[in-house]
Amino acid sequence: MNPVTTNDDGLSPGEGFTDPATLSLGPDTRIHLIGIGGSGMNGLAQLLIERHIPVSGSDLRGGMVCDVLTSMGATVHVGHAAKYVEGADIVVVSNAVPRTNVERQWAHDHGIPVILRADLLNLLMRGNRRILISGTHGKTTTTAMTTRILQAGGLDPSFAIGGALHAGGNSAHHGSSDVFVAEADEAFRSFIRLRGDCIVVTNIEMDHHDVFSDEAALHTAFKRFIEVSNPDGPLLICADDPGSATFGQMLRKETAYTIATYGTTDGVDVQITDISHTETGGSSFTITDHTGLLPEPISVTVAVPGRHNVLNATAALMAATWAGADWKTGAEGLTAFTGAARRFQYLGSAKGIRVVDDYGHHPTELEATVQAAKQANPDGRVVALFQPHRYSRTQAMGKALGVALADADLVIVTDIYAAGEAAVPGVTGALVADGVKEAGGNVRFLPDRSTLLDVVAGVVQPGDLLLTVGAGDVTEFGPQLLDHLDGR
């Protein structure tokens, strides 16, 4: 499937799109979303429904998410047909929907405005103080943490999160306050179409090789994202990550934005010290604010494991405080934060084997997830079941993906989840498996998905923590294994 694109600057609508600045949303505006069941699109549908805006949509697979939207009042069709668009005032597409899609083509032929998903999010955020969470990794978790902190502080923010919260949360909500928290995704340069008032940059690392030719192109995109934001708002930048640290130093030289850095290194504006592991697998740490906002250091505990989540929590506290949340109340709210869906999500246990599911599909994410698993299971093995995502990413990063996984006690690699990409000759999951071997890890490559359940059930043992990792349908395996082990 060929993705749609905007112009190279990421800002102008591009051929076949309507300028969203000419549009508005109201109770008589029917919005039709193509791919309504997708992780980003279904959250926007929820927001529209909560605002009493008529919603229709189509999805190739349907499923539970579409059933929920139907129960909320949306009209959802399984499959695509031109007739589904009839009567719509605005049609919304993701970057995965080609111009040849029958619904998009019908809208274009009949003069119905077509906009990108990011454009709809920008329309929904109008009139709010907008906290945008950007970065190659950690966006969903940091957005979810920021939302929880604001809620703990008595605020009712609107939010759009890339994954649902574990404990009683949708992926989106229309709140009563004037604060809106959302992810700002760099894929397809989508975040350049959003305007933030407070921006977090968790990290910047090369990814999306089908969009960015090199790191310079990626940094240019992040700079454009900053340039269209509110110049009076703060930029909260992680100093521990080399990419975002370099980016922050460049911004300080070239712009007049208010920048606050955070991390464990010396010289940052908000410093993290005294990191320790809790008995339940989380982390405790101390935050000292050198900007003067905090009168004294504050102690924080997070239930989710990993040093990366210490950084995510610090960024979330800074952003929520900017919006009016109390630091102490916010820190207390983080104590009960159990994470976002598919971000180190505990699925259950059977026969002494715990299963955790994670969305990680980039080397840095995989390394952090494996280390978090070892922290959470110090007395047992970590078995990682990894499904590579996209041929382009595997071709560019296959060995690095394997190296990142190699610290697990056993790595099982499946073949590639294509995500709509055409196969590339010679590019298979074996590239990842070879990377594990070269790094000295223990690995098995299982390209035949039909054998996976029996093989994994045969190698796991009591005391193991099994990670199912990847951005594809590997997420379905954990529940299947638990049922299999329980004899269901």
Active site residues: 139-140, 183
DSSP state of 99: T
How many Cβ atoms are within 10 Å of 81's Cβ, its own excluded?
A: 12
- Residue corresponding to tokens 């464990």: 264
Of 216, 184, 203, 214, which Cα lies nearest the Cα of 244?
Answer: 203
- Tell me the sheet residues that pair with 263: 271
List strand residue ranges (DSSP E) for 366-456, in order. 382-386, 410-413, 443-445
- Residue corresponding to tokens 């005391």: 463
Angle at 185 between CA 181 and CA 186, to 5 degrees: 145
Say if residue 447 is exposed, middle or buried (CB neighbours under 10 Å; 0-12, 13-18, 19+): middle
Phi and psi torsions of 210, nearest 5°: -80, -10
What is the token pair recorded at 2?
């060929």
- Within 13 Å and on the Cβ side, how many CA atoms surround 302? 28
Q: Which amino acid is residue 381, in one-letter code?
A: R
Of 209, 194, 39, 218, which Cα lies nearest the Cα of 115?
Answer: 194
Of 191, 47, 194, 198, which Cα lies nearest the Cα of 129?
Answer: 198
380 and 355 Cβ atoms separated by less than 8 Å: no
